[in-house]
Structure 1
Amino acid sequence: MRWSTVKGCICLLLGLLMLTGCVKKENPPNPAEKPMEKGIQDVSRYFPVESQLTWDYEGEGNEYAGFTRRVMHTQGNKAQVSEDNGGTVLGMVFEVTSSQVVKTYTKEEFYSDKNLLEEKPNLEEVILKAPLKVGATWKNERDQREVVSTSERVEVPGGTFHNVVKIKITSLEHPPEEGRQFEYYAENTGLILREFTVGEDKITSQLKSLKKTEARPQTQKDTLSIEGMQQEVVLHLVEGAPLPFYTYAPSDMMVERTASGEGEAFRFVANFAGKKRDDAYMSLFFYPQGTSVEEAVKFASGMILSNRWQKVGRYNNPDTEKSYPWSESEWQFMDKVNNQSYVGNIAVGKHGDRVFHIINHYPEDFAEGFVPRTGKILEKFTWTDTGEQLNKT
């Protein structure tokens, strides 16, 4: 090979090496140099408040950990929500926008369907705040909230949820060792899990179901057989929410709702021709969650004794014909006060994990008008969680 040829090859090789040395080497992008994620901008997707939505939560670790939430009223970006844990009912108002969810009003021992949306705010507690991204924090008067994850996978009785937002709640009134709390929110579902831990003890509330019920008509027309004659009557809707029932009552039966730590009661009181008779009523009473049928039977029997009513019959075996197909135990009774004779009955029943009793009490000469009316109330009585009618269970 001639020297000129070798020289040319060497020059070409050196040129290629120089060219290669001038190319900039591409390094993998540094995660620290990535632009900050924007996070979730619309928090309303994680707190739905459509009218008639109902959430049922299964509790563990405490008798009041299970509860039911229901949207009672809505107006604009406001929603009234009731929360019933079996011991008390809480009425709450939320303002929901894309940027934040704020609880603006709360009322304890709230056993009514009254609209609270126009009540003057009595607090400002931010539940969720945009953007929802890991590390985001905000403070309320009593707690601080921090987004610790937006990609949780959570299994609860109501299903498996992905990309769940996990919120850590730290009390500003108590030291951390007194407990840790987390809430988990899923898109288009809302709160699916609440955890509270103290030492080795853990209390959880897990979503069991989310349902939307159709709005029911406020009135219905029907007929009653009174003294052998068919009479047309107007029935008015009675909502039991957050208890899982509704029924319809004749317009001349007043409805009174009361509650205490011992339970919740609905009284249907005769108001014939505009004259209220407190001695003619049907009472529907729900015992606190955890009450057994045996405890309710004992309590109901004690009521008969304390009122000095005279028992005249009792269902206590499967071969005895019952007045109510759903009753676990029932009695008939009679009474006499100031020459006025009274008759009635009391029956104990159970639906799901709630025990209840129904009492009918009325003057004997009211029977032909009173019994058809209370019979219609029980005929229309429907459990909202199963869709079953009481008298057909």
Structure 2
Amino acid sequence: MKKMTIAAGMLALLTLSACGDDAPPEPEVQIPAGSDTNVTDEDPEQVEEAIEEEASEEELGESEGENVDPYAFFMEDGTTATYEGKGIEYAALSIRTEYLEEDHIALYEDNGGTILLRVYRLSEDKVELVKEEPEFYEEYTATAEELSALEPISTYLEFPIEEGNKMNGRTIVETGATVETPYDTFEDAIVIENKSESSVSRSYITEGFGEVKREFLSEEGEEEFVVTSSLETIE
């Protein structure tokens, strides 16, 4: 607002000057309190540049101070997402999300052959896998004390998210990817890759949805074998 007021004042002053010599005296330009600039109202261009620079620094500071919401990388509480599978029979999945106490989330992953339970612990700087159990056909219930006592198994995500970050052998290879799924086309997806000598696994994660696609590629002789699980519905 101060910038617009100063700019309007300068425009009015220039207009009046162009009309004749009877223009009123030049108004005093007020410099915001606390500004580090040493310019005076006799140099309006420097005043405006200093105000723009100060505003940019404030915006940058606010941006750097924002905390990442780890819940943004999971589906909403109580939702069940289905994934279209290609490549093998068990690539089709359904994943149910349940929020637990003390910033923990349980995912029940059903591929038609078994149900895998994964429990994650969320904090300001990371998301950790703290429990993983196959053949789990019950509801997972745990007290806050029991959840807090679970030991981390691996790091699922680490903040801030940046290309090149490594987490237990997994590497963030891209942070602005476009990924197509039957549900939607997502922009700015995070791509996490795990490589071995003969195969590559990729996970595509987006804010507001979590994991929207998985991809497994391997080479068998001269042929490439590809398995994908892509988000199809959310209920």
Q: What amino acid is the match of 2:231? A: L
Partner Cα distance (1:72, 1:166) in 2: 24
Mark the runs of 5 or more structure 1 residues left unpaired by the alignment. 1-37, 171-175, 212-393
Residue 178 (structure 1) shift: 2.9
Partner Cα distance (1:132, 1:52) in 2: 26
Question: In the TM superposition, what are the counterparts of 1:60-79 in structure 2 within 5 Å?
Answer: 60-79=86-105
* Number of the residue aligned with 2:216: 196
Partner Cα distance (1:184, 1:145) in 2: 12
Partner Cα distance (1:183, 1:46) in 2: 16
Structure 1 counterpart of 2:114, from 88, 91, 106:
88
Residue 41 (structure 1) shift: 5.9
Structure 1 counterpart of 2:157, from 114, 123, 128:
128
SS at match of 2:70: helix
Partner Cα distance (1:104, 1:166) in 2: 22
Partner Cα distance (1:48, 1:128) in 2: 11
Structure 2 counterpart of 1:161, from 186, 205, 209:
186
CA contact (8 A) 1:72 1:113 kept: no
Q: CA deviation digits over 1:244-287, x for unaligned, max 9?
A: xxxxxxxxxxxxxxxxxxxxxxxxxxxxxxxxxxxxxxxxxxxx
Q: What amino acid is the match of 1:90? A: L
Q: CA deviation digits over 1:289-346, x for unaligned, max 9?
A: xxxxxxxxxxxxxxxxxxxxxxxxxxxxxxxxxxxxxxxxxxxxxxxxxxxxxxxxxx
Residue 43 (structure 1) shift: 5.8
* Number of the residue aligned with 2:234: 210
SS at match of 1:64: helix
Aligned residue-pair number: 165
Of 202-211 and 117-126, more deviation after overlay is shown by 117-126
Partner Cα distance (2:150, 2:75) in 1: 19
* Structure having greater relative contact order (Cα 8 Å, sep ≥ 6): 2
* Number of the residue aligned with 1:115: 141
Question: In the TM superposition, what are the counterparts of 1:1-393 in structure 2 within 5 Å?
Answer: 42=68, 44=70, 46-48=72-74, 50-116=76-142, 118=146, 121=150, 123-139=152-168, 144-170=169-195, 176-199=196-219, 200-211=224-235
Partner Cα distance (2:142, 2:153) in 1: 16
Partner Cα distance (1:189, 1:73) in 2: 14
Partner Cα distance (2:102, 2:71) in 1: 16
CA contact (8 A) 2:116 2:133 kept: yes
Q: Which runs of 4+ in 1 moved over 3 A?
A: none
CA RMSD of superposed structures (Å) = 2.3
Q: CA deviation digits over 1:8-48, x for unaligned, max 9?
A: xxxxxxxxxxxxxxxxxxxxxxxxxxxxxx7x962615422
CA contact (8 A) 1:46 1:185 kept: no
Aligned identity (percent) is 29
Mark the runs of 5 or more structure 2 residues left unpaired by the alignment. 1-63
Mark the CA change 1:41 to 1:149 in structure 2 (over 3 Å): closer, same or farther. Answer: farther
Partner Cα distance (2:203, 2:122) in 1: 18
Q: What amino acid is the match of 1:127? A: Y
Rg comparison, structure with higher value: 1
Mark the CA change 1:43 to 1:73 in structure 2 (over 3 Å): closer, same or farther. Answer: closer
Mark the CA change 1:73 to 1:115 in structure 2 (over 3 Å): closer, same or farther. Answer: farther
SS at match of 1:59: strand
Residue 116 (structure 1) shift: 4.4
CA contact (8 A) 1:49 1:79 kept: no
Q: TM-score, normalised by structure 2?
A: 0.64
* Number of the residue aligned with 2:39: none
Q: What amino acid is the match of 1:155? A: E
Residue 69 (structure 1) shift: 0.8
